[in-house]
Amino acid sequence: MHITQLNRECLLHLFSFLDKNSRKSLAKTCHKLLEVFQDPLLWSLLNFHSPAELKKDNFLLGPALKYLSICWYSERVKVCNIEDWMKNSFQKDFCNRHENTVNDFLLEVCNRCPNLLSLTLSGCGHVTDDCILLLLKNCPNLKTLKLENCVRITDQTLEAVTLYGGSLETLHVDFCRNITQTGLERVREKCPSVMLRAERSANMIPDNKPEKKLMLEKASRKLVQL
C-alpha cells in the first residue's frame, strides 16, 4: 500500500511524529502530502531551539497554534544578555544580526495565532516589554507565560499582565534581571489566582547605565563614611 492511499486522518497522524524539516521534505514529494503539510491541525505545537529556525519555511503559523516554545540554550546567549553599554563592537555586531528576529516572529504570532494557550521563551535576550504587551492583547486565551533569562523584560511586562492577562494561570519570570520585587508584589495583589514564579529575578543586579552606576557607588561610599 502506498502512503498516499492512506486517508487524511492517518496522514496527519504520521506527520505528527516527524520534525519540521522531515515534514517539509515529505511534503515536496507530491501534491497530496503538501496538502497535509499545510493543514493547520498539524501545527498546534511548535518548538524552536535557535532564532535561525524562526526564519525557515518548514512550519505553518495559524489559528490552530496552541503551544509555542522558543528556547535558545547556547554559549551565544551570554553575548545577548550583556548590557548594551558593556558590549564591544564584535558583540554588538553579533547581536544586530538577530536583534529583531524573535520580536518580529512574535508579532506574526500576534496576527495569526489568536488561540495561543502557552508561550515559553528562554534565552531570548532581545524580546521587549512592548512585544509581550501586544501578545497579551492579541492572544486573550493565553494561560501560561514562561519567560526565562529574557533580560529586556521589566516591570512593564508585569503591569501588562495585570491589565491584559485575564486568562493567565501560570506566570514564570525566572532570571529576568530587570524585574523588581515591587512589580512582583503588584502581580500578586492584582492577580492572586495566577501561579507566579520569579526565580532569582528580583535578586539579580539590574542593568544600570554607567552614570547611574557611579551615582550608586558614590552614595554607597558616603553611607560607609557616615
Region for 45 from its dihedrals, namely left if φ exceeds 0, alpha if ψ lies in -120 to 50, beta otherwise:
beta
* pLDDT confidence band for 198 (50 / 70 / 90): very high
Domain of 33? 1-42
Least-confidence region, from 87-101, 115-129, 210-224:
210-224
Region for 175 from its dihedrals, namely left if φ exceeds 0, alpha if ψ lies in -120 to 50, beta otherwise:
left
- State whether 203 and 110 are in the same domain: yes
Question: What are the φ and ψ backbone dihedral angles of 34, each rounded to 5 degrees?
Answer: -65, -40
Q: In this structure, which amino acid lies at residue 83?
A: E
Here the CATH number for the domain that contains residue 214 is 3.80.10
CA-to-CA distance for 97 and 160, rounded, in angstroms? 28
CA-to-CA distance for 50 and 108, rounded, in angstroms? 17
Q: Region 190-201: what's the mean pLDDT? A: 92
- State whether 130 and 158 are in the same domain: yes
The number of distinct structural domains making up the chain is 2
| pLDDT the model gives residue 125 | 82
- State whether 142 and 207 are in the same domain: yes
Quick: pLDDT tens for 98-122: 667 888 999 999 999 999 999 999 9
- State whether 204 and 147 are in the same domain: yes
Here the CATH number for the domain that contains residue 33 is 1.20.1280
- State whether 144 and 32 are in the same domain: no
pLDDT at 220 over 70: no
Helix (H) / strand (E) containing 215: helix 210-225
- State whether 162 and 186 are in the same domain: yes
- State whether 50 and 154 are in the same domain: yes
- State whether 61 and 6 are in the same domain: no
- State whether 90 and 192 are in the same domain: yes
pLDDT at 72 over 70: yes
- State whether 36 and 49 are in the same domain: no
